[in-house]
Amino acid sequence: MDITSEPLATASPTASPAPLRVTLVVGSNRHGRFGPVVADWLLGRLRARTDLIPQVVDVADTTALPTTLTRGPEATAALAEITPKLATADAFVVLTPEYNHSFPAGLKNLIDWHYSEWQAKPVALVSYGGISGGLRAVEHLRQVFAELHAVTVRDTVSFHNAGASFDDEGRLTDPGPAEAAAKAMLDQLAWWGEALREARRRRPYGS
């Protein structure tokens, strides 16, 4: 047989994976907070990508959430719009300021009201603050999310002296370093998000 006459095998086309659903958690509810400025910039980076679809959970919208972790009518109403955005997410970006060398109480309360929603999903951490850029809050959050069986990605974005990093219209005065850091972080988030989504499909976490 003349093997040269055999048809060549061709690889079957591989469909592109569906975009990842990413929930951006805005972690500050303090009066006069700077968080929305950074959040708007982050949303711009997320929306610029074709592999990520963002939605937002803002801690400022959870002020009615009690701290007793008792699921009464008040808590049920407060969680009605929040929990689905966490449960359906493939990945998270958590934006935090630094208060007293850690992250805000309102953010911790929101995190503690949920458990399975975080499991086996990646979390990217973005911080802002004074000279430390909120990095001490980030290190504390890594411990919290490890306890919740989430995976924090290695690279972060931090804004030191954040108020001076943006102009009056919310634009970065020197966008280059932050843009590069955000790309590296979101690339990692996308890799982990796709890998863990596929892993959860093959075998539900904890089974």
Q: Look up the pTM and report it.
A: 0.91
Task: Tell me what percent of the residues of the chain surpass a pLDDT of 90.
Answer: 87
pLDDT at 98 over 70: yes
pLDDT in tens, 126-174: 999 999 999 999 999 999 999 999 999 999 999 999 999 999 999 999 9
The per-residue pLDDT for 36 is 96
The per-residue pLDDT for 13 is 54
19-201 CATH pick, 1.10.340.30, 3.40.50.720, 3.30.930.10, 3.40.50.360: 3.40.50.360
Calculate the average pLDDT of the chain. Answer: 92
The per-residue pLDDT for 17 is 87
The per-residue pLDDT for 187 is 98
pLDDT at 15 over 90: no
Return the closest-CA partner of residue 56 out of 26, 97, 83, 14. 26
CB-CB contact of 95 with 39 (8 Å):
yes
Task: List the single range of 11-15, 23-27, 138-142 with lowest mean pLDDT.
Answer: 11-15
Task: Tell me what percent of the residues of the chain surpass a pLDDT of 70.
Answer: 93
Beta-sheet pairing, 52-58 with 122-128: unpaired
The per-residue pLDDT for 14 is 63
pLDDT range class, residue 207, cuts 50, 70, 90: low
Write down the residue that tokens 């089974």 correspond to: 207
Give the count of beta carbons closer than 10 Å to the beta carbon of residue 30: 13
pLDDT in tens, 37-57: 999 999 999 999 999 999 999
The per-residue pLDDT for 1 is 42
Radius of gyration of the chain (CA): 20
Mean pLDDT for the stretch of residues 91-114: 97
The per-residue pLDDT for 117 is 98
Task: List the single range of 37-46, 66-75, 157-166, 185-194 with lowest mean pLDDT.
Answer: 66-75
Return the closest-CA partner of residue 30 out of 121, 107, 86, 109. 107
